[in-house]
């Protein structure tokens, strides 16, 4: 490359800064006709300032004569329609559907016709305020939850970051902090009493029969045009399983079959999919451990097997089913998610749990139980395979309760002392 004259270096140094200690030059150039709004940045590593300037001159020539309208910045709607497959690549189908719903339900009505570089921090912050006041269509008395508002903004920021990464945008127009809404994590874990009632529901056949009486359709009685030798002149159509019938007993057996799965959720703290596809080769009875790689983060975890969990796993082992999976149907196939959700809902109702409680809250129950018994948050984070320990901090409340109990034990007088002196 030809040497750069001293006078040329002075003229070309606009937008150029040199850090001699680190050997780094930071440079930026504005597009012609961009009115100071469109620029290209670059960081150059060089052994000297002159070498960095030579690279800077070449970089600047590349972009200086590029018109600001060399490409039309697409609108958010056009970008999403063009790149949605790439944006959601590698995501689970359910997550991709959530992104699609968020984009078409909330983001595109607001920003769809705006160019990507027009979606600034100020506009996004105003949008956050409007989202906080938005009413739900299905329940006008309620507004969007803080977590829903925050996830909506996270999807928008993800789309903008993809546009920058794929060179559709030179830089993100969101340059200032976004006012995320403070979220108070719900305490949905089971209490000791609820936990016992939930697991006992799987052994409560009478409660199951009462559930059938409440929920099974009665059917419609209809007069037949001609008398039928088998059913007579009247026949009932659309009826469900009759309580205490042989079909009801078979249904209860199918419901009872699912109990070990939920015991494992409460005793191992696995995510529902990791537990559903747990394999026998991942269970080490001799060492009393479960070794597996989580499907969400592809991280190896080692979990201790409690006595209750061991008894449950041995119960599954004794079943006359040959399968590599621990929790299966009666024919040896991995149990389906629909069947799990159905059994979970029935057990909740039999146990009398009417508040919000999800299958994933079995995992929260496991973590809260560990923390309340004095296990540190760092160990709990390792067992749950959390990427960020801040996620585990939702159990800090249980840690405070555990600390209070330890302090109470330390302050209580030993046996033989008669109260305070």
Q: One digit per residue, pLDDT tens: the chain, 421 residues?
A: 444 445 444 444 667 788 888 888 887 766 554 444 446 677 888 888 888 888 877 777 666 544 444 457 899 999 999 999 999 988 888 889 999 999 999 999 999 999 999 999 999 999 999 998 887 777 777 788 888 899 999 999 999 999 998 888 888 999 888 888 887 766 788 989 999 999 999 999 999 999 999 998 876 656 555 555 555 555 556 667 888 899 999 999 999 999 999 999 999 999 999 999 999 999 999 999 999 999 888 899 999 999 999 999 999 999 988 899 999 999 999 999 999 999 999 999 999 999 989 999 999 999 888 888 888 888 888 999 888 777 777 776 655 666 666 666 666 655 555 444 4
pLDDT of residue 51: 86
SS3 at position 242: coil
pLDDT of residue 241: 86
**pTM to 2 decimal places:** 0.64
The rounded Cα 344 to chain-centroid distance in angstroms is 20
The rounded distance, in Å, linking the Cα atoms of 22 and 207 is 73
CB contact at 8 A, 264 and 309: yes
The rounded distance, in Å, linking the Cα atoms of 40 and 63 is 8
pLDDT of residue 31: 55
pLDDT of residue 409: 67
pLDDT of residue 78: 93
Name the strand (E) or helix (H) holding 372.
helix 361-372
């Amino acid at each position: 490359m030809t040497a750069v004259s001293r006078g040329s270096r002075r003229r070309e140094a606009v937008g150029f800064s040199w850090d001699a200690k680190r050997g780094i030059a930071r440079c930026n150039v504005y597009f012609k006709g961009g009115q100071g709004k469109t620029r290209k940045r670059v960081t150059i590593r060089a052994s000297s300032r002159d070498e960095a300037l030579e690279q800077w001159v070449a970089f600047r020539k590349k972009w200086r004569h590029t018109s600001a309208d060399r490409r039309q910045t697409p609108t958010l709607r056009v970008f999403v329609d063009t790149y949605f497959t790439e944006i959601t690549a590698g995501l689970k189908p359910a997550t991709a559907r959530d992104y699609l719903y968020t984009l078409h339900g909330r983001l595109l009505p607001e920003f769809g016709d705006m160019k990507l570089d027009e979606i600034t921090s100020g506009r996004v912050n105003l949008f956050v305020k409007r989202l906080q006041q938005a009413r739900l269509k299905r329940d006008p008395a309620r507004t969007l939850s803080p977590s829903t508002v925050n996830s909506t903004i996270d999807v928008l920021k993800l789309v903008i970051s993809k546009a920058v990464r794929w060179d559709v945008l030179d830089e993100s127009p969101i340059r200032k902090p976004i006012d995320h809404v403070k979220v108070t994590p719900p305490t949905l874990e089971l209490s000791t009493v609820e936990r016992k009632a939930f697991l006992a529901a799987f052994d409560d056949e009478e409660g199951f029969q009462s559930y059938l009486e409440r929920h099974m359709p009665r059917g419609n009685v209809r007069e037949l045009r001609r008398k039928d030798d088998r059913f007579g002149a009247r026949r009932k159509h659309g009826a469900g399983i009759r309580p205490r019938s042989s079909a009801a007993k078979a249904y209860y057996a199918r419901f009872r079959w699912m109990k070990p799965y939920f015991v494992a959720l409460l005793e191992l703290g696995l995510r529902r999919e990791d537990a559903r596809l747990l394999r026998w080769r991942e269970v080490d009875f001799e060492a009393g451990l479960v070794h597996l790689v989580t499907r969400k983060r592809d991280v190896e975890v080692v979990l201790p097997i409690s006595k209750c969990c061991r008894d449950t796993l041995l119960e599954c082992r004794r079943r006359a089913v040959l399968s590599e999976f621990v929790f299966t149907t009666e024919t040896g196939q991995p149990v389906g998610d629909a069947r799990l959700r159905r059994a979970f809902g029935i057990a909740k109702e039999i146990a009398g749990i009417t508040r919000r409680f999800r299958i994933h809250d079995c995992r929260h129950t496991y973590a809260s139980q560990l923390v309340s018994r004095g296990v540190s948050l760092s160990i709990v984070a390792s067992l749950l395979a959390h990427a960020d320990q801040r996620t585990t901090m939702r159990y800090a409340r249980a840690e405070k309760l555990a600390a209070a109990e330890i302090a109470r034990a330390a302050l209580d007088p030993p046996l033989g002392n008669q109260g305070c002196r």
